[in-house]
Amino acid sequence: MYVLDASAFIEEFDTEEPVATIPAVREELVDGAGYRYDAMEGAGMHVHIPDPDVLDRVKRAAESTGDLDTLSETDLRLLAAAFELDGTLVTDDYAIQNVAESLDVAIEVIAQEGITEQRDWLWQCQGCGKEFDEKHDRCPICGADLARKNPN
């Protein structure tokens, strides 16, 4: 089963396989892509609401990879739906792909290249430059803001 992100509707992803999505994806779509969602729902597309426990597991995985702050609630719910349905998530979003890889959720990209490696982000203080493996509200050393940093 394919679980469709908004980009799948926008890029007119087509398959003969069963498809699913979540209700919040409809809210992200405008014009023709919205009509495509409605048509697919009318043709039997499964609209799934993920279990709250699975959503919590996805949030923990996103926190672990450092992607939680960049993902929307819709992104997290899509990941949870794909995990729960054992589906292939169709998306071009790199942060979603990074978390999906950590959860062993299959990904199919549409218009862009997929990620080439999973990343676990570091957090760097904008004041003193100290790096941390975990995100803090502020630097515990000098109190300045932290920014996400590629570890490579």
Residue 116 lies in a domain: no
The two tokens of residue 119 are 């990343």
Mean pLDDT of the chain: 86
**Of residues 131, 152, 150, the one with CA closest to residue 140:** 131
**Number of domains making up the chain:** 2
How much of the chain, in percent, has pLDDT values that exceed 90?
44
| pLDDT digits 0-9 by tens, 3-39 | 999 989 888 888 999 999 999 998 888 777 788 888 8
What is the model's pLDDT at position 130? Answer: 82
Backbone angles phi, psi at 96, to 5 degrees: -60, -45
104, 126: one domain: no
Judgement on whether residues 6 and 70 belong to the same structural domain of the protein = yes
Give pLDDT, residue 17: 93
Domain that holds residue 147: 121-152
Region of poorest pLDDT, from 21-35, 56-70, 104-118? 104-118
Token pair recorded at residue 31: 């014009």
Nearest-angstrom CA–CA distance, 51 and 72: 17
What's the pLDDT at 152? 61
147 exposure class (CB count in 10 Å sphere: 0-12, 13-18, 19+): exposed
Q: Does residue 48 have a pLDDT over 70? A: yes
Min mean pLDDT across 64-68, 84-88, 96-100, 142-146 is at 142-146
